[in-house]
Amino acid sequence: MIKGRMIPDASALQAFAAAARHLSFTRAAVELGRTQSAVSRQIRDLEDQLGLRLFDRIRQRVVLSDAGRRMLPEAEALLDAAERMTLRAIGGRDIAGALVVAVLPGFGARWLVPRLPGFLARHPGVRVTLHTRAAPFDMEAEGVDLAIHHGQPAWPAGVCSYLCRDEIVPVAAAPAALSAVALLHLEARPRLWPDWLAAGGIAREGWAGHRFDDQALLIEAALAGLGAALLPRYLIETELAAGRLAVLDPRPVASAEAYWVVLPEGKAADPLGLAFRDWLGAQVSSAATEPLPPGAGGPKAGA
């Protein structure tokens, strides 16, 4: 059984990091608001505790030793982590609850954030932290309470609940015939246009056109008049409402994949997580919340 840990004093680590940045105990003392002798003593005590020489004293100046250079990045990372922990604790003094949510970047910025004030109004005092993530991860290890996932309902150690599916529509900066407009592609979904055209019975070649590796770039390209893009409606609600993008074909094609709300197995009954999941479900239409029947759906959509 370990009775104690080899944890150096935080003040000594601060003194070491400051002296390493300035290569001067005097300047480190000024930065930290201490005396030069106090900084020198703290670094000496740290060296004694570690059994290492962290600085080489050369005439009237100091330089980092090999051991000091190796230790500096870890010392700075430890101090940064301690500061983040302290700030989180201070920031959480007056909250009624906290929820850490992982969300796909496009879904979070374009769909979730504009609706988030509604959830916070219903749950005053709750603090929400959003992280952008694009693939499954260990939610418990990273302290995440809930994730919004696009794809199939599969997440290690997670409980998935259906949220909605994409409705994919072709859009451009101005009304135009699909046969006369260039096609804009998402690099991660090279088959999206060919599959969509085939599903709609539209006879035109679907492979040519400019390509983009990000949904936000694809939207901007369509807004700039470079051609037509296939996009989920949720990503372009604002542009459609303002008339900045026009739907070129009113026939929607649903994605075969869907959005899922994922709770860690260990928090599957957490009241705040369940309240957020239920609130999310209430934000989508009743038609969209019906899961796809087996085998249904058209081309896959990007997240």
Fold of 10-91: Arc Repressor Mutant, subunit A (1.10.10)
State the Cα–Cα distance between residues 24 and 110, nearest whole angstrom. 49
8 A C-beta contact, residue 298 and residue 195: yes
Q: Where are the alpha helices (DSSP H) in 33-166?
A: 36-50, 66-91, 105-107, 113-122
Q: In the numeric block, which tokens belong to residue 88?
A: 């989180």
Residues carrying CATH 3.40.190.10, the chain: 97-165+256-283, 166-255
Q: Crossing angle, helix 25-32 and helix 36-50, to 10 degrees?
A: 110
Query: Which residue type occupies 130?
Result: L
Residue with tokens 């075969």: 256
8 A C-beta contact, residue 302 and residue 189: yes
Query: Which residue type occupies 208?
Result: A
Residue 225 Ramachandran class (φ > 0 left, ψ -120 to 50 alpha, else beta):
left
State the Cα–Cα distance between residues 46 and 68, nearest whole angstrom. 11
What CATH number does domain 166-255 carry, 3.40.50.300, 3.40.190.10, 3.40.50.920, 2.60.40.420? 3.40.190.10
Q: Which of 255, 269, 221 has its CA nearest to residue 107?
A: 255
Mean pLDDT by 10 residues, the chain (303 residues): 67 92 92 93 92 87 91 90 74 69 89 93 91 90 92 91 88 92 92 88 89 91 96 89 93 77 92 94 60 33 35
User: 97-165+256-283 architecture in CATH?
Assistant: 3-Layer(aba) Sandwich (3.40)
State the Cα–Cα distance between residues 25 and 39, nearest whole angstrom. 6
Say what the pLDDT of residue 290 is. 41
Task: Mention every residue, 6+ apart, whose C-beta is less than 8 A from residue 108.
Answer: 130, 132, 148
Q: In the numeric block, which tokens belong to residue 96?
A: 């009624």
Q: Which of 35, 40, 53, 52 has its CA nearest to residue 12?
A: 40
Residue with tokens 């080899």: 6
Residue with tokens 């009743």: 286
pTM (two decimals) = 0.62
